[in-house]
């Protein structure tokens, strides 16, 4: 069973308005939708990119997102294959 998109205990606000939408690695355009929420149970931000009927979920700590206004972090490509570690 697929996990619910947004759990019960959450705060839904845009974590960093300065960050643009991630780019879809398939069509090289901004993703169709970005869902984000703060999960109080694990004390992390959850970001879910949606495009082409697929979803990709990443988590970040609040400390990481606090630096978004300084330009030290940026959105990467969504749905990009990650090579396996050997």
Question: What's the pLDDT band for 6 if we cut at 50, 70, 90?
Answer: low
Its pTM stands at 0.67
Question: What's the pLDDT band for 1 if we cut at 50, 70, 90?
Answer: very low
Within 10 angstroms of residue 82's Cβ, the number of other Cβ atoms is 5
How crowded is the C-beta side of 24, counted as CA atoms within 13 Å?
A: 16
> pLDDT tens digit string along 62-71?
777 777 666 6
Task: For the chain, give every domain's residue range.
Answer: 10-69
pLDDT cut 90: percent of the chain above it: 0
Cα(63)–Cα(23) distance, integer angstroms: 23
> pLDDT tens digit string along 29-69?
888 888 888 888 888 888 888 898 989 888 888 777 777 66
């Amino acid at each position: 069973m697929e996990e619910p998109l947004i759990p019960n205990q959450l705060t839904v606000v845009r974590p960093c308005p300065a960050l643009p939408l991630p780019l879809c690695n398939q069509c090289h355009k901004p993703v169709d939708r970005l869902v984000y929420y703060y999960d109080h149970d694990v004390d992390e931000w959850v970001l879910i990119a949606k495009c082409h009927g697929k979803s990709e979920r990443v988590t970040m700590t609040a400390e990481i997102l606090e630096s978004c206004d300084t330009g030290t972090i940026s959105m990467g490509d969504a749905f990009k294959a990650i090579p396996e570690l050997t």
